[in-house]
Amino acid sequence: MKGKLYLVATPIGNLEDITLRAIRILKEVDIIAAEDTRHTLKLLNHLNISKPLISYHRHNEEVKCDSLINKLLEGENIALVSDAGTPVISDPGEEIVKEAINNEIEVVPIPGACALVNALIASGLDSREFSFYGFLSLNKKIRMEKLKQIMTERKTSILYEAPHKIQNTLKDILNEVGDRNIVLARELTKIHEEYIRGKVSELIEKIENFKGEFIILIEGNNNILEEDFFKGWSLEQHYKFYENQGLDKKEIIKKIAKDRKVVKNEIYNYFITYNKKNEA
């Protein structure tokens, strides 16, 4: 009988954030494949678990994948863990999952901590729909393309970033995406856990000397509207919509005329008559 591949989530800081099921699986499997065996050994020592560890990281993923698949085919059960959080999410594992599926080996996720999910639920930003971008590429062209995509994204965008690159990435966000509302989720589940909220420009200054791990959450672009979004609205409702965004009368009339593809004067005259009627 073939073995099973378990994808086991581990804590992202606080060691209490490991599930009972994860502990049981780590105790039961034959082998643990770990992104960094020394790092995982600390967790296993804390849990009093002793198991053969095999290193499985980005740079040996292809080579190690074959030998792990062979062990699974021979009937051994393997748990895959990353340094922190959920394996495969911006961490190694996709390769072996695909190969396991190709070999009809059962893949079982063991849920637990995932940095992006926890950052999102406490961010206060729209969580109904969101886009996760992982780490931005270091390749300038690809990086700029992604940032342009984020600029027009209506959903909350979530990015991972390495601690020493956070300032640079925020500067790129400011230049390409704009001075949007963002949330920086810092050191989740650890002593210095905090959520820093504000405009990109404010946070660049604020976090200058901050250390630790960060997740960047960017509020969606609310200014991009569907064509005909105003369908069914009266002109007064249309006016109120822009007024609520802090626009002045002149700007509002210009925008309404543009939306409705009519000349500005038509809208302007309507409101003069409307105001006169209401004053009478």
> Please, which residue, 96 or 185, has the CB nearer to ligand SAM?
185
CA distance 18 to 3: 23
Residue 185 C-beta: closest distance to ligand SAM, Å: 6
**According to CB under 6 A, which one of 189, 198, 199, 254 is a site residue for ligand SAM?**
189
Q: Is 187 in the site for ligand SAM (CB under 6 A)?
A: yes
Catalogue the E-assigned strands of the chain: 4-8, 31-34, 53-55, 78-81, 106-110, 130-135, 156-161, 181-186, 194-199, 214-218
The secondary structure of 32-97 as a DSSP string is EEESSHHHHHHHHHHTT----EEE--TTTHHHHHHHHHHHHHTT--EEEE-SSBSTTTTSS-HHHH
CA distance 279 to 277: 5
Q: Is 203 in the site for ligand SAM (CB under 6 A)?
A: no
3-state SS, residue 28: helix
Among 22, 28, 10, which Cα is nearest to 76's?
28
Q: Is 188 in the site for ligand SAM (CB under 6 A)?
A: yes
Give the interface segment with ligand SAM, choosing from 19-27, 114-122, 223-231, 267-275 (CB under 6 A): 114-122
* Three-state helix/strand/coil letters over 241-257: HHHCCCCCHHHHHHHHH
Q: Is 179 in the site for ligand SAM (CB under 6 A)?
A: no
Residues 249-278 that bind ligand SAM (CB under 6 A): none
Cβ burial, residue 188 (10 Å; 0-12/13-18/19+): buried
Residue 83 C-beta: closest distance to ligand SAM, Å: 7
CA distance 125 to 182: 9
Give the interface segment with ligand SAM, choosing from 47-55, 110-118, 146-154, 254-262 (CB under 6 A): 110-118
CA distance 2 to 227: 54
3-state SS, residue 30: coil
**According to CB under 6 A, which one of 6, 56, 130, 214 is a site residue for ligand SAM?**
214
Q: Phi and psi for 33 in degrees, rounded to 5?
A: -95, 120
Give the interface segment with ligand SAM, choosing from 46-54, 98-106, 123-131, 158-166 (CB under 6 A): 158-166
> Please, which residue, 49 or 114, has the CB nearer to ligand SAM?
114
Q: Is 202 in the site for ligand SAM (CB under 6 A)?
A: no
> Please, which residue, 91 or 259, has the CB nearer to ligand SAM?
91
- Window 63-82: contact mask with ligand SAM (x via CB under 6 A): -------------------x
- Window 7-46: contact mask with ligand SAM (x via CB under 6 A): -----xx---------------------------------
> Please, which residue, 55 or 270, has the CB nearer to ligand SAM?
55
Instruction: Kindly list the residues in this chain that would bind ligand SAM in the complex (CB under 6 A).
Output: 12-13, 82, 84-86, 89-91, 113-116, 160-162, 185-190, 213-215
